[in-house]
Amino acid sequence: MKRLGLLPWLAAGLAALPGAAQAHLVNSGLGPFYDGALHLLLSPGDLLGLLALALLAGLRGTTAARAAVTALPTALLLAGLIGLTLPVIPNLAWLSTLAFMLLGVLVAFDVRLPPVIIAALAGVYGTLLGLLNGSTLATMDAGVGSLLGIVLTAFMLVLLASAAVVPLHAFWARITVRVAGSWVVAVGMLMLGWLAQGAV
């Protein structure tokens, strides 16, 4: 009960953050590369999606995790470069929320997808993140340096998280990972609720 009580607050906080982050690129004072890295680290929706993807890939084993770690940053970089040249994309917070919710559902149900599908999912999610972030960066007069900060940070997050899950074979450990996936879904549902109410 206590956990459920915290969840709405967590979701509200997370839902509020992306709006602030999109207003202008976070100034780390360390140049565009770190500004981009910080931008990703302060975008909870993107972080949850990357976490869910890493958990999903890790649950499916070494080959799937390796495929995700390769496909995601590649797609993110290429789509980001395209996104930098695009006109302003309208706020698609609902789309990115739905995307990470879907990944969370796959984790929660421990869906047994083959590595090639995991790679495809990573590619599609990376493309979505890349287009959205690239377009956002363009509106902030940020360039390739910031995009690379985002790509390297995303790569590191997925690499570390998926490698942490791969060796987990104990039943209870895999259940814990699946519970984390269900939390991602729960946070996503609450964020969608706030989005529907126009709170964000």
Partner 1 sequence: MNRALRKLAVLLLLMAGFWSVPGSAHESQPGLLEIRQLTTERWEIVWRAPIYYGKSHPARLALPADWRPVGEPSVQRLASADLRRQVVTVPPGTLNGSVIGFPGLEQTITDVFVRLARLDGSEASQVVRPSKPEAVLRGERPWHVTAGEYLVLGFHHILLGIDHLLFVLGLLVIVRGNRMLVKTITAFTVAHSITLGLATLGYASVPGPPLNAAIALSILFLGPEMVRVWRGHTSLTIRHPWVVAFCFGLLHGFGFASGLSVVGMPRAEIPLTLAMFNVGVELGQLAFVALILLSYRAMRTLEFRWPRWAELGPAYAIGSLGAYWTIQRTAMMF
Positions in the binding site for partner 1 (CB under 8 A): 27-34, 62, 65-66, 69, 144-145, 148, 151-152, 155-156, 159-160, 162-164, 166-167
Provide, rounded to whole angstroms, the least separation between the CB of residue 116 and partner 1.
16
Q: At what angle do helices 144-165 and 62-85 cross, to 10 degrees?
A: 160
**Beta-carbon contacts of residue 192 (< 8 Å; ≥ 6 apart):** 94, 97, 98, 101
Provide, rounded to whole angstroms, the least separation between the CB of residue 149 and partner 1.
8
Which of residues 65 and 190 has its CB atom nearest to partner 1 in the complex? 65
* Residue 164 buriedness (CB in 10 A; 0-12 / 13-18 / 19+): middle
Provide, rounded to whole angstroms, the least separation between the CB of residue 71 and partner 1.
13
Provide, rounded to whole angstroms, the least separation between the CB of residue 127 and partner 1.
20
Q: Tell me the chain's radius of gyration from C-alpha atoms.
A: 16
* 184 close to 101: Cβ distance less than 8 angstroms: yes
Provide, rounded to whole angstroms, the least separation between the CB of residue 3 and partner 1.
29
d(CA 99, CA 9): 21
Which of residues 7 and 117 has its CB atom nearest to partner 1 in the complex? 117
Which of residues 38 and 93 has its CB atom nearest to partner 1 in the complex? 38
Which of residues 74 and 127 has its CB atom nearest to partner 1 in the complex? 74
DSSP secondary structure code for residue 170 in this structure: S
Which of residues 45 and 126 has its CB atom nearest to partner 1 in the complex? 126
